[in-house]
Amino acid sequence: MSQVLDGKAHADRMLEEVRQGVEARLAQGKRAPALAVVLVGDDPASHVYVRNKTAACAKVGIRSLEHRLAADTPQAALDALIDQLNADPGVDGILVQLPLPQGLDAKRALHRISPAKDVDGFHPVNQGLLLEGLPGLRPCTPTACMSLLAHHGVALKGLRAVVLGRSEIVGKPMALMLLEQHATVTIAHSRTKDLPAVCREADLLVAAVGRPGLVEGSWIKPGAVVVDVGINRVEDEALGAAIFAAEPKKLETLRAKGGVLCGDVRFGEAMAVASAVTPVPGGVGPLTIAGLLANTLAASNQDA
């Protein structure tokens, strides 16, 4: 039986460090870090994320400034708000919650954020710094995953790592961070030939594709470490019966509640093969917000 890598516990450790960093700023007579969150439209999941971010900010002493815009906001108005936040010396970090409503260009908005305030780490300047291995604001989820792996003493040097997924938010930056730590990295994706065989080569498998239960136990090398970034809601009972064959309680929950959260990895099957696995929920999810707040603190200390 493998170890469950507790993301919530590690997020709490990261948040405690941020809280101490905020206290240290205040002790030096500086103001609390401030994070501006821009929420456009009515996406219910985005509202939940933003609420969670605001609550986490409050816990560590970061000010959160919420800006809500209507779904039909023109791009020029969003541009103007970003310009205003860029120019505001009382704002350290700017986060434009994704996805944006149809008709708004997310890339244009993200590129407009000042790289010094880009706490998501999505601006091309910050992506370029990461590519070069230089300090900058880095994407929250992969940064926090690296922190979790370091905490659990996973030795990355020379390790064969497979990153499943090539998104700008997780897959690509995760691959670069692993490479920086001297892992041998393969990025696999939906067009990769014989995906199971590629995954089976991995000493470290990071799954970030948003496909519930894609990774079966037979895809995992015995003793591998598995990081599951996917957060998917499964409602279909037939799909649930297939992916929760080794997790009868999950299937029961699905039947009782009409849906259940699950990762990209079949957790029950992975637990029988891997040496360590992150669960969903309670794995990578809580780490992302901790990474965001660590970035906000870092952004506020850039002038120090």
Other C-beta atoms lying within 10 Å of the C-beta of residue 88? 14
98 belongs to the binding site for ligand GUN (CB under 6 A):
yes
- Dig out the tokens for 217 from the structure: 């136990």
Give the residue nearest to ligand GUN (CB): 98
Q: Is 250 a catalytic residue?
A: no
Interface stretch with ligand GUN, choices 80-88, 92-100, 124-132, 221-229 (CB under 6 A): 92-100
Closer residue to ligand GUN in complex, CB, 95/290: 95
CB of 239 to ligand GUN, least distance (A): 23
Q: Which helix (H) or strand (E) element contains residue 160?
A: strand 160-164
* Cα–Cα distance for residue pair 295/291, rounded to 1 Å: 6
Q: Which helix (H) or strand (E) element contains residue 262?
A: strand 260-262
- Judged by CB under 6 A, the number of residues near ligand GUN is 7
Closer residue to ligand GUN in complex, CB, 169/276: 169
* Cα–Cα distance for residue pair 14/54, rounded to 1 Å: 16
Q: What are phi and psi of 37, to 5 degrees?
A: -110, 125
* Cα–Cα distance for residue pair 260/28, rounded to 1 Å: 46
Map residues 99-128 to x or -, x wherever contact with ligand GUN holds by CB under 6 A. Answer: ---------------------x--------
50 belongs to the binding site for ligand GUN (CB under 6 A):
no
List the one residue from 2, 64, 73, 97 that touches ligand GUN (CB under 6 A).
97
Is residue 251 a contact partner of residue 241, using CB atoms and an 8 Å limit? yes
CB of 13 to ligand GUN, least distance (A): 20
List the one residue from 95, 144, 204, 280 that touches ligand GUN (CB under 6 A).
95
In 3D, which of 97, 98, 99, 125 has the Cα closest to residue 111? 125
Task: Put residue 159 in one of left, alpha, beta given phi > 0 → left and psi -120 to 50 → alpha.
Answer: beta
CB of 120 to ligand GUN, least distance (A): 5
Cα dihedral 44, 117, 169, 51, rounded to 10, equals -20
Cis bond before residue 281 (omega within 30° of 0): yes
List the one residue from 15, 144, 161, 169 that touches ligand GUN (CB under 6 A).
169
Interface stretch with ligand GUN, choices 53-61, 91-99, 157-165, 275-283 (CB under 6 A): 91-99
Interface stretch with ligand GUN, choices 52-60, 93-101, 152-160, 220-228 (CB under 6 A): 93-101
List the one residue from 40, 62, 85, 96 that touches ligand GUN (CB under 6 A).
96
Q: Which residues contact 194 (CB under 8 A, 6 or more apart)?
A: none
- Among 118, 120, 228, 264, the one annotated catalytic: 120
Q: Which residues are catalytic?
A: 53, 97, 120
Chain residues that interact with ligand GUN, rule: CB under 6 A? 95-98, 120, 140, 169
